[in-house]
Structure 1
Amino acid sequence: MEENKDLRDEEILEEGNTVEENTEATENEEVEEIIEEYSETDDLSMIRKLKDENKKLSNELDALKDRLLRLTAEYDNYRKRTAKEKEGIYTDACTDVLKEVLPVADNLERALAVDGNVEDIKKGVEMTIKGFLNALEKLGVEEIDTTNGFDPNVHQAISVVEDANLNTNDVAQVYQKGYKKGEKVIRYSMVTVAK
Structure 2
Amino acid sequence: MENKENLQETLKEETEVNNNEEVEEVKSEEIKFEEEISELKDKNKVLKDENKKLENELNSLKDRFLRMNAEYENFRKRTEKEKKAIYTDACSDVLNNMFPAFDNLERAIVAEGNAEDLKKGIEAVMKQFIESLSKLDVEEIGAEGEFDPNYHNAIMHVEDESLGENQIVEVFQKGFKRGDKVLRYSLVKVAN
**Bin for the TM-score computed over the shorter chain:** 0.7 to 0.9
- Whether 1:163 aligns to 2:147 is no
Q: Does 1:68 align with 2:65?
A: yes
TM-score calculated relative to the size of structure 2 = 0.84
Q: Please say if 1:188 is aligned against 2:181.
A: no
Q: Does 1:43 align with 2:78?
A: no
Question: 2:94 maps to which residue?
Answer: 97
Q: Counterparts of 2:32 and 2:164 in 1: how far apart (Å)?
A: 106
1:58 and 2:49 correspond: no
Q: Deviations over 1:89-120 (max 9, x none)?
A: 01000100000001001111111222112111
After superposition, residues 1-195 of structure 1 pair within 5 angstroms as: 28-29=25-26, 31-195=28-192
Quote the offset at 1:28 in angstroms: 4.9
Structure 1 CA distance for aligned equivalents of residues 180 and 25 of structure 2: 95
Deviations 1:27-78 (A, max 9, x none): 7556433421220111110110111011111111111111111111111111
TM-score by length of 1: 0.83
Q: Give the percent of matched residue pairs that are identical in Structure 1 and Structure 2.
A: 54
Deviation at 1:25, TM superposition (A): 6.2
Task: Please give the alpha-carbon distance, in whole angstroms, between the structure 2 residues aligned to 1:23 and 1:151.
Answer: 114
1:124-169 CA-partner distances (Å, limit 9, x unpaired): 1111111101100111111112224111122111111112332111
Aligned partners of 2:53 and 2:137: how far apart in 1? 62
Report the RMSD for the aligned CA atoms in angstroms.
Answer: 2.1
Q: Which moved more, 1:180-189 or 1:170-179?
A: 180-189
Q: Partner amino acid for 1:170?
A: Q
* Cα distance in structure 1, aligned partners of 2:130 and 2:146: 23
Cα distance change, pair 148–29 in 1 and its aligned pair in 2 (3 A): farther
Query: Are residues 148 and 24 of structure 1, via their aligned partners in 2, closer, same or farther at CA, if it must alter by over 3 Å?
Result: farther
Structure 1 alignment gaps of length 5 or more: 1-14
Structure 1: distance between partners of 2:21 and 2:180: 100
Segments of 4+ in structure 1 off by > 3 A? 21-31
